[in-house]
Amino acid sequence: MPRTPIIPKGSAPSLAPYSPGVKAGNTVYVSGVLALDTAGKLVGAGDVKAQTRHVLDSIKAVVEAAGGSLDDVVYNAIFLKDLADYAKMNEIYASYFPSSPPARYCIRADLVKPEFLVEISSIAQLG
């Protein structure tokens, strides 16, 4: 099956060799997204709500560049630096998925740099 890298305009520079998203058939796989702006600078230092909002906006951009919307997201993997931030992250997360939220899991994990508080990876099914 052919696959197409999805790189939305204004994407943050990659910290490693990967594409922000890949479309294979009607499925879009979104790489783990961190709170980085277009210059690769941290967004929302010390603020898990701001980082979650930025991460979900970035996921939305990838899915939309592939021809979908957040309503097409069927699965999210959430990584939190500190589980004490779980309620704050969920407050923002719920505003992006207000009804029929996707399946997901959330674990505590060390992220690639200590200033990152949240990372989310997604799968969307288009059509």
The domain that holds 67 is classified in CATH as 3.30.1330.40
Nearest-CA neighbor of 125 among 30, 59, 27?
Answer: 27
pLDDT in tens, 31-57: 999 999 999 999 999 999 999 999 999
Nearest-CA neighbor of 125 among 82, 61, 83, 69?
Answer: 69
Choosing from 42, 65, 106, 123, which is the catalytic residue? Answer: 106
In this structure, what token pair is assigned to residue 105? 């899991």
What single DSSP character describes residue 84? G
Residue 106: active-site member: yes
pLDDT in tens, 51-90: 999 999 999 999 999 999 999 999 999 999 999 999 999 9
Residues 6+ positions from 99 with CB-CB distance below 8 Å: none
- What does pTM read for this prediction? 0.96
What is the Rg, in whole angstroms, of the alpha carbon atoms belonging to the chain?
14
List the end-to-end C-alpha distance of the chain, in Å, as a whole number: 17
Q: Compute φ and ψ for 125, nearest 5 degrees.
A: -115, 110
- Domain residues for 36? 3-125
Distances in Å between the alpha carbon of 28 and those of 38, 104, 113, 121?
22, 16, 26, 11
Q: How many whole angstroms separate alpha carbon 22 and alpha carbon 28?
A: 6
Which ranges of 13-47 would DSSP assign to H, the alpha helix? none
What total of structural domains would you count in the chain? 1
